[in-house]
Amino acid sequence: MQQTMGKALNVRGATKTYRTQSGEVHALKDVDLTVRQGEFIAVVGPSGCGKTTLLWSIAGLHRLTSGAIALGEEWITGPHPSIGMMFQEANLLPWRTVRKNIDLPFEIRGHRPEEARIQTLLQRVGLDGFGDKMPRELSGGMQQRASIVRALASDPSVLLMDEPFGALDAFTRDEMNKLVEEIWLEARKTVILITHSIAEAVFLADKVYIMSARPGRIARVVDIPFPRPRSLDLMETREFFDLVNRIKHDIQHQPAALPAMARSGATS
């Protein structure tokens, strides 16, 4: 496998058109973005703007109509061992234990899991001793913790997160956001988060990419000014509240797509 650690993720001219019985659906149009190694970005936008299509294309699960995606010098044409993904649901198989769910991707690839790494991750997310439990014995938050371990177990250089905490209650979601930041600070993975929660995006990300309505394009990039590590108390501050409202305003009023991905700094 070609080494991809330390390589930027580049999306160039990503365009995706679906053909349906009622005609063509233009999901993405000329999306350009570059995510540096170790950077944490979030993508927000109106419902149906193509956020998930973009993420699944980066994961190699959707083929673009035109454009290209590369991790370092390597083109992404299908699922890649250096790219891990968390989905909207934990998607734990109910007949397999937590540990056997974590081992499943290794079984599919015909590889042996790294026992020490998985045990360390289980301890890190607070699931030490729960490896033999069935998914029905876990809360929603605990199931998503297991999903985090499964996504990180193979030590990917890029982690994609598709609205992973949307179904959780507000308190548990805040706990999970803090946990994700802590893990990111420790491992410095490249992370791309898709979320409908602007507060979640601002709390977690270095930059927030705002997408226009379908066909989705990058309309604006907002640099997040808050230092790390970030306390949950940050969400109660006027500065945080104002930035969240500003991004919400941009989404609602649909700024025109940027031709050269010019940035809008947080204080501009």
Note whether residue 233 is domain-resident: yes
Q: Give the pLDDT score at 6.
A: 59
Q: What is the DSSP secondary structure assignment for residue 89, as one 8-state letter?
A: S
Q: Give the pLDDT score at 262.
A: 44
pLDDT (mean) for 170-197: 93
Neighbours of 3 (CB within 10 A): 11
Q: 265: domain range?
A: 1-82+205-268
Whichever domain contains 70, its CATH number is 3.40.50
Residue found by looking up tokens 């297991």 in the block: 146
Radius of gyration of the chain (CA): 18
Check pLDDT > 60 for residue 264: no
Note whether residue 243 is domain-resident: yes
Check pLDDT > 70 for residue 123: yes
pLDDT (mean) for 23-38: 92
Note whether 243 and 202 are within 8 A (CB).
yes
Confidence of residue 127 (pLDDT cuts 50, 70, 90): very high
Please report, rounded to a whole number, the percentage of residues in the chain having pLDDT higher than 70.
Answer: 92
Note whether residue 41 is domain-resident: yes
Interval 128-180: pLDDT, tens: 999 999 999 999 999 999 999 999 999 999 999 999 888 888 889 999 999 99
Q: What's the rounded Cα separation, in Å, for the pair 255 and 244?
A: 16
Note whether residue 65 is domain-resident: yes
Interval 93-110: pLDDT, tens: 999 999 999 999 888 888
What's phi and psi for 55, nearest 5 deg? -65, -45
The domain tally of the chain equals 1
- Local structure of 12: helix, strand or coil: strand
Note whether residue 156 is domain-resident: no
Task: Tell me the pTM.
Answer: 0.89
Q: What's the rounded Cα separation, in Å, for the pair 256 and 219?
A: 6
Note whether residue 105 is domain-resident: no
Q: Give the pLDDT score at 244.
A: 97
Note whether residue 148 is domain-resident: no
Note whether residue 76 is domain-resident: yes
Q: Which residues of 118-150 are buried (b: 16+ CB within 10 A; e: fewer)?
A: beebbebbebeebbeeebeebebbbbbbbbbbb
pLDDT (mean) for 121-133: 93
Confidence of residue 23 (pLDDT cuts 50, 70, 90): confident
Q: Give the pLDDT score at 257.
A: 53
